[in-house]
């Protein structure tokens, strides 16, 4: 298998299309090159996947702060958190529910801050940085792309 082959969102959508007609509630697929976990979530699917680029440790396709893990700090020391892929951003797990995070909440790099719906898949968005949520800059149900700043986090002092 070529080292250049990676798992793409289209590949994931094709896998979901294949298993969507089954009674499976979740599926885990792992190879030397990638790992994929899919789970039913209401009418849709959630996904978590990683792939090995061959030049380093496996890379998680989970939202992180932009750039080399964390974008350059703003003048106030906060870090912008951006989505890992384009789609519709949801700040709560379902309509009418409390948002995942609010301004002033303490988050870790693994804290889910929202959901991005892409190709009918619900993808959790993780903070990617530990600290305090300074401001949420995106409204619920807004189309975002990887350049959109979802929120800003003041990193924890170590």
> What is the CATH classification number for the domain harbouring 137?
2.40.50.100
Residue 67 lies in a domain: no
Model confidence pTM above 0.75 = no
Same domain, 38 and 88: no
The span from the CA of 80 to the CA of 134, in Å, is: 10
* Spatial contact of 39 and 25, defined as CB atoms under 8 Å apart: yes
Residue 132 lies in a domain: yes
CA terminus-to-terminus distance, the chain: 43
Q: What is the pLDDT of residues 17-67, one digit of tens each?
A: 777 777 777 777 777 666 777 777 766 777 666 655 454 444 444 333 333
Number of domains in the chain: 2
Domain of 14? 9-60
């Amino acid at each position: 298998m070529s080292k250049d082959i990676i798992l793409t969102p289209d590949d994931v959508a094709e896998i979901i299309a294949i298993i969507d007609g089954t009674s499976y509630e979740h599926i885990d697929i792992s190879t030397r090159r990638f790992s994929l976990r899919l789970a039913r979530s209401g009418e849709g699917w959630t996904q978590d996947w990683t792939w090995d680029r061959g030049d380093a440790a496996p890379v998680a396709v989970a939202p992180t702060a932009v750039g080399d893990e964390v974008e350059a700090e703003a003048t106030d020391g906060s870090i912008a958190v951006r989505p890992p892929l384009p789609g519709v951003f949801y700040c709560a797990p379902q309509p009418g529910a409390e948002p995942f995070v609010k301004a002033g909440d303490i988050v870790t790099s693994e804290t889910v801050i929202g959901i991005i719906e892409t190709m009918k898949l619900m993808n959790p968005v993780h903070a990617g940085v530990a600290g305090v949520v300074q401001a949420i800059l995106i409204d619920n149900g807004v189309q975002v792309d990887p350049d959109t700043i979802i929120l800003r986090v003041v990193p924890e002092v170590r």
